[in-house]
Structure 1
Amino acid sequence: MGEQLTWGREYLMVAPDHFRVEYAINPFMDLSTQPDPVTTRAQWDAIIAGIEAAGGAVEVLGQRQDSPDMVYAMNLGLPFQGGPGTVGRTAVLSHMRYAERRNETETAEQWFRDHEFATVSVGAQGVGAHFEAGDAFAWRGDLVVGFGPRTERLALKHLATELDVRVQGLEIVHPGMYHLDLSFCPLDSERAMVCPAAFTEASARQLLDLVPEALVLSEEEAMSFCANSIVIGRTILMPACPDRVRAQLEAWDFEVVIVGVEEFVKGGGAIRCLTNPLDVTLGRDLRTGEAKVVSA
């Protein structure tokens, strides 16, 4: 059995005060199918209740009225606690691929600064590279980053340099798994859910080589959003869990807790998209001192 993840107990979430489907920038968004505000709030509250019941904590950021997708807090930026040789806290801000989402970063930057994070930008408006934090995970000492639909390959070099870490770059090609957090979910220090269909053949091999013990998802299983889950110790909060996946997770002694988020799936995201971990630590969860990119 692998050791429990050392991060994932403190989260930032965005209150769904203005969540709606106002445009279509992924295959799940349909302007004719709008989320119900009452159900949306109940599902969002249930995520917080699930996190707290598992021993986690949540901080809440208000949603901009002009930013309906801001509720998907994972994409606001990549926050890190300081580690050995690092003072304070740092947040790498996202530079969204689509202009409709770029206002979110302005509000996120102010929140991070108010909470004593130094902020770093991978790309400024019209400059640099697009980067969306839903494409990045700290795991086994490396920063694992998906690129293609949302994050640009050039961003990998910026991330490696700014954070002084090794970046494992994976090319995403599946239109329905446009962020890495839809096809990859670290479970503990040895195990992760992985959907090879999301990637080029070379990147799928690279990712499977990184995972000592993978729960390999079929395309159909991954499209249930089961990888878009969060792990708190041995508890996994999941939006859905196919029977085969549940059987393997329970055989590995994980407790599966289902929290329905069907209203948020209408916008293309589930539990991981709605939660941004605040407790990833440089020097503990990410090795520093090796600024390089490894990509198939």
Structure 2
Amino acid sequence: MGQQLQWGRRYLMVQPDHFRVDYAINPFMDLADQPDPVRAREQWLGLVEAIRSSGAEVEVLAQRPDAPDMVYAMNLGLVVNQPEGERVVMSHMRYPERRMETGSAQPWFAEHGFATSYVGRDGVGAHFEAGDVFAFGDALVAGYGPRTEELGLKHLATELDVRVRGLRITHPGMYHLDLAFCPLDETRAMVCPAAFDDASAAAALAMVPEPLVLTEEEALTFCANSIVVGRTVLMPACPDRVRAQLEEWGFEIVLVDVGEFHKGGGSIRCMTNPVDVLSGRDLPAVLGGEVVIP
């Protein structure tokens, strides 16, 4: 049994007070299929309760009225704390419709003691979205293509003094890495090779000692868009084959219905930003940074 992930015990979430579909920037969004606000609120509260019942903390940020996608808190910024203090690299969204979100998130991080920086801002620098990045093994694993630009990986590596392993995403329905890759413990992760080009698919499988390989059909249930607290996996869906493997590995599966949020193209991982990743513990420090592209 692999050693449990030490991060993923403290999350930032955004209240869904203004969640709706105002535009279509991914294949799941349809202006004619609006989320039910009452049901969305109930599902959000259910997720908060499930996370806290699993032993993790949840902190809450208010949602801007003009930012309907802000509820997908994973994309606000990437937290990689360092021994000298907490820090976050704020996202620079590819689509202008989402860029105002960081204007409310940055003050929250600053007020809570996080030093903040940017990969890109106000059209300057590279696009970077934190839903494309995970700490796993010896590096930050970073998807690029649909949302994050390859240049952004270089900025991340040098900004944070870490190794970044880039994976080129090509599947339109898995436009963020968190729809195709989910760390489970220090040696295992869910991986969907269909999300990537051939070289990156091979690289993704090679970097995970014990991958749970998802088919395209399985991944499009949002099953990889899950979070892990110790040995508990909070999932929006769990295909039978995936459940069997997770249970064989000793994980407890908790299903949480967040179907209203699927209408915006996100699920449990998208709604939760882990703010407890620590450089030197959860990934090694690499002076000057390093980018590895297959």
Asked if Structure 1 and Structure 2 have the same fold, meaning a TM-score greater than 0.5 normalized by the shorter chain, the answer is yes
Which residue does the alignment assign to 1:51? 51
- Matched residues in 1 for 2:95 and 2:291: separation? 25
Q: Kindly indicate whether residue 219 of structure 2 is the aligned counterpart of residue 218 of structure 1.
A: no
Deviation at residue 281 of structure 1 after TM alignment? 0.5
- Matched residues in 1 for 2:223 and 2:75: separation? 18
Letter in 2 for 1:68: P
Which residue does the alignment assign to 1:180? 177
- Matched residues in 2 for 1:118 and 1:40: separation? 32
Which runs of structure 2 are paired with 1:70-81 in the superposition (5 Å)?
A: 70-81=70-81
Q: 1:129 aligns with which of 111, 126, 129?
A: 126
- Matched residues in 2 for 1:53 and 1:81: separation? 25
- Matched residues in 2 for 1:2 and 1:186: separation? 11
- Matched residues in 1 for 2:68 and 2:37: separation? 12
- Matched residues in 2 for 1:146 and 1:207: separation? 10
Aligned length: 293
Divergent runs of 4+, >3 A: none
Q: 2:292 aligns with which of 288, 291, 294?
A: 294
Deviation at residue 283 of structure 1 after TM alignment? 1.2
- Matched residues in 2 for 1:234 and 1:157: separation? 33
Which residue does the alignment assign to 2:238? 241
The secondary structure found in structure 1 opposite 2:45 is: helix
Does the Cα contact within 8 Å between 2:218 and 2:239 map onto a contact in 1? yes
Which residue does the alignment assign to 1:41? 41
- Matched residues in 2 for 1:35 and 1:221: separation? 23
Does the Cα contact within 8 Å between 2:225 and 2:268 map onto a contact in 1? yes
The TM-score with structure 2 as length reference comes to 0.99
- Matched residues in 1 for 2:271 and 2:238: separation? 18
Q: Kindly indicate whether residue 115 of structure 2 is the aligned counterpart of residue 118 of structure 1.
A: yes
Which residue does the alignment assign to 1:163? 160
Which residue does the alignment assign to 1:284? 281
Which residue does the alignment assign to 1:271? 268
Deviation at residue 81 of structure 1 after TM alignment? 2.5
- Matched residues in 1 for 2:229 and 2:138: separation? 19
Deviation at residue 289 of structure 1 after TM alignment? 2.3
Which runs of structure 2 are paired with 1:191-230 in the superposition (5 Å)?
A: 191-230=188-227
The TM-score with structure 1 as length reference comes to 0.98
Letter in 1 for 2:199: A
Which residue does the alignment assign to 1:61? 61
- Matched residues in 1 for 2:40 and 2:138: separation? 36
Does the Cα contact within 8 Å between 1:141 and 1:284 map onto a contact in 2? no
The secondary structure found in structure 1 opposite 2:125 is: coil
Q: Percent identity?
A: 68
The secondary structure found in structure 2 opposite 1:280 is: coil
Deviation at residue 141 of structure 1 after TM alignment? 2.7
Q: Which string of whole-angstrom CA distances, capped at 9 and with x for unpartnered residues, describes residues 242-292 of structure 1?
A: 000001100111000000111000000000000000110011112112411
Which residue does the alignment assign to 1:7? 7
Letter in 1 for 2:278: T
RMSD: 0.6
Letter in 2 for 1:70: M
Letter in 2 for 1:295: I
Deviation at residue 41 of structure 1 after TM alignment? 0.6
Q: Which string of whole-angstrom CA distances, capped at 9 and with x for unpartnered residues, describes residues 32-83 of structure 1?
A: 0000011101110111111111101100000000000000000000113322
Does the Cα contact within 8 Å between 2:80 and 2:160 map onto a contact in 1? no
Which residue does the alignment assign to 1:250? 247
- Matched residues in 2 for 1:163 and 1:260: separation? 35
Which runs of structure 2 are paired with 1:98-113 in the superposition (5 Å)?
A: 98-113=95-110
Which residue does the alignment assign to 2:140? 143
Does the Cα contact within 8 Å between 1:15 and 1:62 map onto a contact in 2? yes
The secondary structure found in structure 1 opposite 2:189 is: strand
Deviation at residue 125 of structure 1 after TM alignment? 1.0
